[in-house]
Amino acid sequence: MTRPKYDIVAGDFLLTQEAAGVLANVSVQTMKKWEKQDNPPPRNADGTYSAKHFGIWLSTHRGNKQSGSKPKAGAADRNQAEARLKEAQAIKAERENEVAEGLLVPIEETVEGWQEILMRVRSRLLKMPTALAPLVAGDPELHSIQAKIKDAVYDALNELSENGGSDDG
């Protein structure tokens, strides 16, 4: 599973190397060259870039695409960097608004909810062999056994869908 190109964590906008390269209008190869400079862009331990810190670095230490040498001081480059930073800030604000409006759900909440659901489904499925063994033991009819198993599966699915999968309902 691939990691999203950006993520909002603790009020900061995290960017992958690819997304940071897009923001800086450079290739991933150039981003890797910048990492080897004396003053590389600030990078988190997980390999992501803080949009805030990367934007500050970008506006003050913009690397030269060709040689990776000292930052350019041209007004056009500065204006382009400022425009990209403003765009990234606008995207960040838009995402924060969508989270506040309930249109986006933080990844942590989504993962936690799905883990609960899957654990309930797992628990219910693991109970089935114990519950079905006495029902099908000694039944020589294949169709009868299949019908009993099918009924138990449908009962489990109905139970999980009716009470959200909780084991107490």
The per-residue pLDDT for range 101-135, each reduced to its tens digit, is: 988 888 888 888 889 889 999 999 999 999 999 98
Look at the block and give the residue holding tokens 């400079």: 37
Output the pLDDT for position 11: 65
Output the pLDDT for position 10: 61
pLDDT category, 9, cuts 50, 70, 90?
Answer: low
What is the DSSP code (8-state) at residue 66? Answer: T
| Residue 113 and residue 34 share a domain | no
Domain span including residue 72: 6-100
* Domain endpoint, select from 50, 78, 100: 100
Q: How far apart are CA 91 and CA 95, in angstroms?
A: 6
- Average pLDDT (87-109) is 89
Percent of residues, the chain, with pLDDT higher than 90: 24
Strands 12-15 and 6-9, by their bridges, are antiparallel
Output the pLDDT for position 87: 93
Return the beta strands (E) in 25-112 as ranges.
49-50
Do 58 and 81 form a contact (C-beta atoms < 8 A)? yes
| Residue 62 and residue 117 share a domain | no
The per-residue pLDDT for range 134-149, each reduced to its tens digit, is: 988 988 999 999 999 9
**Is residue 63 over pLDDT 80?**
no
Find the largest Cα–Cα distance for the chain.
Answer: 86
| Residue 11 and residue 91 share a domain | yes
**Is residue 23 over pLDDT 60?**
yes
For residue 49, the tally of other CB atoms under 10 A from its CB is 27
| Residue 78 and residue 14 share a domain | yes
Output the pLDDT for position 14: 80
| Residue 113 and residue 92 share a domain | no
**Is residue 80 over pLDDT 80?**
yes
Look at the block and give the residue holding tokens 């999980």: 160
Do 119 and 160 form a contact (C-beta atoms < 8 A)? no
